[in-house]
Amino acid sequence: VTTASSELLASLAKLTPRYLPFCVTLRDPEIDRIAHGVPDPNGNRVADAYARSVALDLLAQRQVAFAELTRKGVLVLDAPANQISDQLVDRYLILKLRNQL
């Protein structure tokens, strides 16, 4: 977690006693593909291994940040851009149903 993201985490956490902060992030499907996909057998193995390592590290850092936010009472939605609207509406309806708004 970088300095900038730790400042964001701290700021969002301060809102939780009075508000219901909701952090929405866009997940890049290309990062998922690089991290979990099958490398090109004809490609550069060293470059593919490096890219996979960086992608896995990025995903792990995001999970740490999301877990920290969730632990501090912040709602988190992480979805690809093409699914964000549907998932955001679904989450809103769930919150409304539970009288959390």
Q: Give me the amino acid identity at 19.
A: Y
Chain length of the chain: 101
pLDDT at 2: 67
Give me the residue spans of the domains in the chain.
3-97
Q: Report phi then psi at 84, rounded to 5.
A: -65, -40
Tell me the C-alpha distance between 101 and 84, whole Å. Answer: 20
Is a pLDDT exceeding 90 seen at residue 43? no
> pLDDT-based confidence at 1, cuts 50/70/90?
low
Residue, of 33 and 9, whose pLDDT is higher: 33
pTM of model > 0.85: no
Is a pLDDT exceeding 90 seen at residue 38? no
pLDDT above 90 as % of the chain: 55
Closest by CA position to 69, among listed 3, 23, 1: 23
